[in-house]
Amino acid sequence: MNLKPIFKPKSACVFGVSLKNPSFPGSIIYFKNRYEYHVNIMAINPKGGEIEGQQVYKSLEDLPEIPEIGILAIRAKNVPETFEKCANAGMKGAIIISGGFAEVGPAGKKLQDKLVSISKDHDMPFLGPNCIGVYSPPYIDTFILPSERISIPKSGGNIAMISQSGGILVDQFMQKFALRNIPISSAVSIGNKAIVDEITLLDYYSKDDQTKTILMYLESLQNGRKFLTEIERHRKYGKNLMVYKAGVTPAGARAALSHTAAITTSSDLVHFGLKQYGVIQPSSEFELISFSKVLNFDLPPIFQGNVVVLSVSGGHGVVCADACTKYGFNLVDLSSKKGQLREIINPSSKDIAALGNPIDLTGSVTDYDVEQVLEFLLKQNEVEAVILLLLPYPPQISMQIGRRISIIVRNYDKPCIVYLPWLERYQIIIDGLELNGIPVAHTIEEGVQMLKGLWQKSINIKIDEHYRKKK
């Protein structure tokens, strides 16, 4: 199936635009796209007329042209007939926002089966039903929420987001991505996934040049074995694939069934199968965000888990050391390097700094100390990565420290993750780091989670090499 018209349509029509209620889902979708996106959008309501000076057409037959896709936000009982008209008119795809299908019981399942039959007869893909559709800037956004009510991540990133739940997509993913300054390429809600499912989208995004990481939130898999087979087949495209699977408990599985009418495959089968094929599996929504952010920076992977914690606060170093142990990292033994480290620190700090691992440069630290010690660490063969806990409170830490650190890090093929208080007053430091390829974590544990994402990425790379050798 060709999904490009759904993600990058030149024209679209909305069935279900209200003439009186601007908060109606169809109306929100229509106005958002008319004023904010590139798609040529048209409104349909059986009464016809005008809204805000724009013509509303009575039917599909009255449109000045046949659009590439139709967006259906009407009552479930009217969807099959309308969808069939779209198919007969030669549309290339549809997004069915409406609920009231398989997720509500046998009667709804019968309606959904009609949609599937029509889709297969006309080779016309559709998203949903029971979904919020796509966010695909600058082309189209069918989320049934006004732009001013939600936080939207920056566009132009390399992460594609696939979610079975529209609410999780908007709140847990997009909002947190926006807060952490993680850009994405597009996002899609698949709802009941009657035709377009995670396998269909895996194929689409694997071949998409802009996408480097495919992120999936799934509550269920109708056919786990087929999904794993498709993952193996798509390894040749070299994408990072991340799957966050919900519905892993009996209670969660029951909730997933009532939510999107899909019966979940055994969670153990899915987990071990995904692990075998190098799929990155965050254990929580917090790891998902951390992994996504670090993968967006396209940093070198970590193969052995050997790290150094560099801090300007002893307490922060202790917390980070605990987190490193929790996530399975090895703190490199620096006992033989203490003399060399002490020689490159300023006189005010050299006698009081703790030079084990974690390293505590203390409140007497200067920009120069951070630069010198960081470069020394990156030169050590046994050090794979550095976590820098950068507290900008000491008076001799300048607002240019971010830029100065980035100049050093770019000379080494090793990742450096920075924890820095995410406050507006330190934005110049954050920008100096992130605009130059160094991710900044909101919390210490988030920084360690980012390294875990790079560690899992190394497994992905090894498996890709295995499949290339097989070919």
Superfamily of domain 150-296: Succinyl-CoA synthetase domains (3.40.50.261)
Q: Could you give the C-alpha distances from 198 to 102, 243, 356, 391, in angstroms and in order?
A: 18, 10, 47, 42
pLDDT of residue 153: 93
Residues linked to residue 11 through DSSP beta bridges, in sequence order: 40
How far is it, in rounded angstroms, from Cα 455 to Cα 451? 6
Mean pLDDT of the chain: 91
Q: What tokens appear for 181 in the block?
A: 């300054």
**Mean pLDDT, rounded, for 272-282:** 87
Q: Are 420 and 440 in contact (CB under 8 A)?
A: yes
Q: Cβ-count burial of 411 within 10 angstroms (0-12 exposed, 13-18 middle, 19+ buried)?
A: exposed
Per-residue model confidence (pLDDT) at position 233: 86
Q: Is the pLDDT at 459 greater than 70, yes or no?
A: yes
- Could you please state the CATH topology (level 3) that the domain comprising 300-458 is classified under: Rossmann fold (3.40.50)
Range(s) within the chain of domains with CATH label 3.40.50.720: 1-130
Note the pLDDT tens digit of each residue in 17-69: 999 999 999 999 999 999 999 999 999 999 999 999 999 999 999 999 999 99
Residue with tokens 């966050």: 244
Domain with CATH 3.40.50.261 in the chain: 150-296, 300-458
How far is residue 22 CA from its own chain's centroid? Answer: 30
Query: Is the pLDDT confidence value at 347 over 50?
Result: yes
Q: What pLDDT was estimated at residue 349?
A: 82
The reported pLDDT for the residue numbered 259 is 44
Which is nearest to 217 in space by CA: 239, 242, 199, 235? 242
Under the banding of pLDDT at 50, 70 and 90, the label for residue 298 is: confident
- CA 384: distance to chain centroid? 26
| Order of all β-strands in the sheet with 140-141 | 140-141, 133-136, 184-189, 155-163, 213-218, 240-245
Q: Which two tokens stand for residue 287?
A: 């790891």
pLDDT at 238: 85
Condensed to tens digits (0 to 9), the pLDDT of residues 57-115 reads: 999 999 999 999 999 999 999 999 999 999 999 999 999 999 999 999 999 999 999 99
Q: Compute the distance between CA of residue 315 and CA of residue 37 in angstroms, rounded to an integer.
A: 48
User: Nearest to residue 246, comparing CAs of 298, 281, 200?
Assistant: 281
| Total-model pTM | 0.88
CATH of domain 1-130: 3.40.50.720
pLDDT at residue 252 greater than cutoff 50: no
Q: Are the C-beta atoms of 13 and 83 separated by less than 8 Å?
A: no
In 289-409, DSSP assigns E strands to 306-311, 330-331, 354-355, 359-360, 385-389
Q: Which residue has the higher pLDDT, 276 or 153?
A: 153
pLDDT higher than 90, residue 244: yes
What is the pLDDT confidence band of residue 255, given thresholds at 50, 70 and 90?
very low
Report, as an integer, the average pLDDT of 345-374: 92
Q: How far apart are CA 67 and CA 428, in angstroms?
A: 46
Torsion, Cα of 148, 152, 155, 161 (10° steps): -140
